[in-house]
Each structure stands twice: as C-alpha cells, then as structure tokens.
Structure 1
Amino acid sequence: MSRTVYVNGDYLPEEEAKVSVFDRGFLFADGVYEVTSVLGGKLIDFPGHARRLARSLGELDMKMPVPEDDLLEIHRELVRANGIGDGLVYLQVTRGAADRDFAYPEHPVQTMVLFTQAKPGLADAPMARSGMKVISIEDQRWGRRDIKTVQLLYPSMGKMMAKAAGCDDAWMVEDGHVTEGTSNNAYIVKDGAIVTRQLGTEILHGITRAAVLRFAREAQMKVEERPFTIAEAQQAEEAFITSASAFVMPVVEIDGEKVGTGTPGPVARRLREIYIEESRRAGV
C-alpha cells in the first residue's frame, strides 16, 4: 500500500513525491536528518529530536524550516495518515536546489521531506533477547559527527562489513578508542558502572543516549563518560547500544569474543525496560 509522505508543504502518495536533481542534499550531502520512533501511535522524545535538528541546521548555517509546533503536527499527521502504531518517522532537510557550486547559494529555498516506516513489535525486538554481535572497524568518517548530516556512506559500508562477517553491526575505533556504532551510541558495563564515550565532535549527541543516561542516574546506577577500548569492552561484564530505532540493545560478542556470559546482561535489560516504560508514558 502506498504511503503518504510530506514534501515541501504537501502530503502526497509516495509515487508522486519528487525532489529536484539539483538538490544539494543529492549533490553534496548538504543536509541533515532526524529519526523519531513511534510506540502505540505516540512520538518518542520528539522535543529532543527537534532541538537537535535545530542545532544541526545551525551548525550548517541553515534555519528551521517550520516552527517546532508545526513540525510536531506534520509528524502526527503522517503517523495518522499511515496508520503507524509502532514505527519510525524520518525527516530530512537540505539546503535546497541550486545550480551546482561548492559555495552555498545566497538565497536557497530549503527542501523538507518526511516519511514513515511501520515496525510492528518495535518494543519486542527478538534481538533484545538474544543480543547482537559486532565487529570493530577503523572510523574513517569526517570530523563533525556531532552534526546529524545525511553523509551516511561510511556507516553503510560498516554495516556491510559487519554483515559480511556474519555480525549485526560495527563499532568504529579512532586513536585506539571506540567512538560509536554505525548508527548508535556504544556502551560497556565495567565494575558495575555504565561507561560510554563523552560528548564531543567525535560522536553524535544521541537523544536516546541522553534519556537512557538520565534514567540510569535516576535508578542510582553509576555512569562514567569516557573513552574505552575494544579490549576493555571484550573484558567488560556487559555491552550495549542505544538509538531511536533500537532503544537499548544488548551486545553479546565483539570481534568474535564473548562479552560477559555471552547473553544479554541485567543492566541492559533493565535499562531497556525503563526506557520503553517511560517512553510510552511520555510519548506525544
């Protein structure tokens, strides 16, 4: 069945949705995106995603295309129109169409596109019970990973490297330390403490990351924001990732080495439960 998508102010059947071949998102990856999860027809962490969108746009000298309240209504309308119970809403904003030139155009008209993906049973993903396997790869991305741009070629390559190795994802390593996963933030549990890399330009400032760390501290769990190595991760009690589309997902193997017992650990399981419970309660 055809989805309803949003393109520059219009709700359209996906077959009728078009963007210019001169759009700078296509020519230069000159754009940013957000992904908001939906549980029970409610948007999860929407204010955080809207704030990060504004920040990413600002770092690229772009403005918010519509006020936040209008953006929320667009999200809600797409959820309603497409009958999304559990799923995702993707949003992309580019600088817009202009004749090809590396320099930014003087008065661009931004392009904004939104679409949904249905993901029935999103909160009950089988991998949450089995855990995921990851490999480590060199982090070869650009230096401003804190901006959520549409430049996703190397993360896509990383996903394919993991698939070729019979694994589920890859953790990227720079200067001997883990930065993040290909589309998620990375964590270990060491001596009872949750350890994840501190915020900076090296990683995306995850909205789910912020919520999970807040819930962990409220539950009196110890949190350390610092770099860690693959070797330290392999020797940890647990490992896991967080993202808007996976919530909290246990990692049970890294580069062929079992983490902890090789099964999802109690910290990751509990954080997933808390996150889903709180998200269902606070969804908009």
Structure 2
Amino acid sequence: MHEIYLNGAFVAPQQAMISVMDRGFLFGDGVYEVIPAYAGRPLRAAEHLQRLENSLRGIGLQAPLSLPEWSEIFGRLLAAEPDRDQALYLQVTRGSAAHRDHRFPARPTPTVMAMAKLMPARDPAVAERGVAVVTREDIRWLRCDIKTTSLLAAVLLRQSAQEAGAEEAILVRDGLALEGSTSNLFLVQDGQLITPPKGPLLLAGITRDLVLELAGQAKIPIQERDIAVAELQGADEVWISSSTREVMPVTRLDDRPLGTGCPGPLWRRVDALYQTFKAELRRSAA
C-alpha cells in the first residue's frame, strides 16, 4: 500500500490518522465499499458507488464526493501498481463530534477514506476442488442491505466458519438460506440458476448482479426466489460470490459432500464467462 486518501489529502499509511471521537470508531457509524480493479480498471465502479450512495442514504448521510471525484481518487491510488490486480476500499463515517453521543451531530463532517491493496490471483487448486461452507443462524440486524462498517456479527459468523474448517458461513433466517457472511449465494437445480431476491435481509452484490447478467446473456434459465435451507444439500451445485472471490463453487456443506463433491458444469461455464469479462476489462486498459 503506497498511500491513502483521507479527507481530501493523499498521505502515507503511517500518517493516516483519525480522531478517537470519530463515530466510525466509536459506533461503527459508517458505510464502505470494496471494488476490484484489473490492470487499473475498476470493475463496475458506477454500480459500486451507487450502492455506496444507497448505503449512505440508509444511514442519513449525503454522498460526500461525486462520481468524477471518486474516479480521480481511484486513478491516483491504482497508478502505483498499474499492471496489477487490486482491490479499492472506500469508507465514509459520520465523522467526529465533541462528545460521545448516540444522537447524530447537528452538522456532521464525514470522514472519507480510500485505499488500494494488491489482490492475490485466485488459486487454481481451490477453484478445482471447490470450498466448504457451514450453515449458521443469521444473528445480524434487519438492514443487511446497508453495507455498514458495523460488522461484528459477520465477523463472528465468518470466524465460526473458519474454526469449523470452512471458507464461509451460509446464513439462515426462518428456514431460508439468505447469503454468506461475506458473499452472495447461488444454487443450481435441473439446469436453472437460483439466487435469493434482493431485500433488506441481504446485500445486493455487484458481483451477484454481474453473474446474473452473464448467465442471462448465455440463455441460462434464472430464478430469483427464496431458497429453503433444506434445498442446499439436494442441490446440483451451490456457489458463493463476492468482489474478491468472484464466483466460487461449494463442494462441501456442513462437513458433507455437496452434489458430486466436485465443481459442477454450470459453474465452469459461468466462471469461464466471468474470466472472459475480466480479460476484456484488462484489454480495455491497454
């Protein structure tokens, strides 16, 4: 990491400091985004920034920067490693106040931060064998569509999965499988691609939407509907997706093989489409 954007300035990481009175530090009162960038080209930056604006609106904050202003920041952060794949992280909190108080400050000055870090290439062995997941009861709040920095519940759930030897926790509420602690969920049954519908109980993933777009262009049948947790073990295929994972096949569920125990044919087809999309994005940067 070469430098960080913080409140209008680019500074060295060791010089990037905020007040201990910042509400992001005290309350987790903020939102964030993660945007993958390939050869200096952010993937669907406008869509990510629209989601950021939606999250800001959800917590009663106005967008602090315009799309062109964000784009200028991204360009400088990515320029340090122009030929490498990177992940942009941006965060906006409600800023600092003179006193710790749950009530909003009358005139907040948001804290705005962005940074880029190298994004490791996907391990081919992991893609070939797939990953293990576990199901866990969803202990999060009721506005999971806001990409908030208040992530303790998700942290505990992801740690629970890691301690069980799994990559991810699939979250279950009222008998429905909603999403992972850090990912969206897909199920394949009889050649049809199924994913839970958007709503307040899950985050509308930008990668999720791209997967659906690519599948639709390939004439793969798609259904957005509730998924009963009982459907997972009998599914032909299960996938998870996120900005940094892309699309990952699940081959073990709650310590039992899922489907054939190997990545399925529809995942291989959609993953190939996704990799082609990435390659075209990289070429457009040349």
User: Are the counterparts in 1 of residues 161 and 168 from structure 2 also a CA contact under 8 Å?
Assistant: yes
- For the structure 1 residues 5 and 215, does the alpha-carbon distance in structure 2 shift closer, same or farther, using more than 3 Å as the test? same
User: Are the counterparts in 2 of residues 95 and 111 from structure 1 also a CA contact under 8 Å?
Assistant: yes
Aligned runs of 1:9-28 on 2, under 5 Å? 9-28=8-27
- For the structure 1 residues 128 and 18, does the alpha-carbon distance in structure 2 shift closer, same or farther, using more than 3 Å as the test? same
User: Which amino acid letter does the alignment assign opposite residue 215 of structure 2?
Assistant: A
Aligned runs of 1:257-272 on 2, under 5 Å? 257-272=256-271
User: Are the counterparts in 2 of residues 42 and 280 from structure 1 also a CA contact under 8 Å?
Assistant: no
Classify the secondary structure of the residue corresponding to 1:107.
Answer: coil
Partner of 1:222: 221
Partner of 2:112: 112
Measure the CA separation in 2 of the matches of 1:226 and 1:108. 39
Classify the secondary structure of the residue corresponding to 1:278.
Answer: helix
Classify the secondary structure of the residue corresponding to 1:25.
Answer: helix
Measure the CA separation in 2 of the matches of 1:272 and 1:40. 19
User: Are the counterparts in 2 of residues 132 and 253 from structure 1 also a CA contact under 8 Å?
Assistant: yes
Partner of 1:192: 191
TM-score by length of 1: 0.95
User: Which amino acid letter does the alignment assign opposite residue 219 of structure 2?
Assistant: Q
Structure 2 residue 55 is the aligned partner of structure 1 residue 74: no
Aligned runs of 1:95-174 on 2, under 5 Å? 95-98=94-97, 99-122=99-122, 125-174=124-173
Q: How far off is 1:128 after superposition?
A: 1.7
CA offsets, 1:115-170, max 9 Å, x none?
12212324x55422221100000001000000111111111111111111111111
CA offsets, 1:219-262, max 9 Å, x none?
11111111112321111110101111111111111112211111
Partner of 1:56: 55
Partner of 1:181: 180
Partner of 1:234: 233
Measure the CA separation in 1 of the matches of 2:275 and 2:258. 24
- For the structure 1 residues 33 and 84, does the alpha-carbon distance in structure 2 shift closer, same or farther, using more than 3 Å as the test? farther
Q: How far off is 1:87 after superposition?
A: 2.1
Classify the secondary structure of the residue corresponding to 2:20.
Answer: coil
User: Which amino acid letter does the alignment assign opposite residue 171 of structure 1?
Assistant: I
Structure 1 residue ranges, 4+ long, deviating more than 6 angstroms after superposition: none
User: Are the counterparts in 2 of residues 36 and 88 from structure 1 also a CA contact under 8 Å?
Assistant: yes
User: Are the counterparts in 2 of residues 38 and 84 from structure 1 also a CA contact under 8 Å?
Assistant: no
Aligned runs of 1:240-251 on 2, under 5 Å? 240-251=239-250
CA offsets, 1:35-59, max 9 Å, x none?
0001222211111101101111111
User: Are the counterparts in 1 of residues 119 and 244 from structure 2 also a CA contact under 8 Å?
Assistant: no
CA offsets, 1:3-29, max 9 Å, x none?
211111111110010011111111111
Could you list the runs of 5+ residues in structure 2 that have no partner in the other structure? none
Q: How far off is 1:274 after superposition?
A: 1.1
User: Are the counterparts in 2 of residues 82 and 116 from structure 1 also a CA contact under 8 Å?
Assistant: no
User: Are the counterparts in 2 of residues 87 and 119 from structure 1 also a CA contact under 8 Å?
Assistant: yes
Measure the CA separation in 2 of the matches of 1:203 and 1:125. 29
Measure the CA separation in 1 of the matches of 2:221 and 2:159. 34
Give the number of aligned pairs.
Answer: 282
Q: How far off is 1:82 after superposition?
A: 4.7
Classify the secondary structure of the residue corresponding to 2:156.
Answer: helix
Measure the CA separation in 1 of the matches of 2:159 and 2:52. 27
Classify the secondary structure of the residue corresponding to 1:201.
Answer: coil
Measure the CA separation in 1 of the matches of 2:180 and 2:124. 19
Could you list the runs of 5+ residues in structure 1 that have no partner in the other structure? none
User: Are the counterparts in 2 of residues 198 and 225 from structure 1 also a CA contact under 8 Å?
Assistant: yes
Measure the CA separation in 2 of the matches of 1:9 and 1:254. 46
User: Are the counterparts in 2 of residues 40 and 280 from structure 1 also a CA contact under 8 Å?
Assistant: no
Classify the secondary structure of the residue corresponding to 1:178.
Answer: strand
Measure the CA separation in 2 of the matches of 1:11 and 1:280. 30
Across the aligned residues of Structure 1 and Structure 2, the Cα RMSD in angstroms comes to 1.5
- For the structure 1 residues 159 and 167, does the alpha-carbon distance in structure 2 shift closer, same or farther, using more than 3 Å as the test? same
Q: How far off is 1:113 after superposition?
A: 0.8
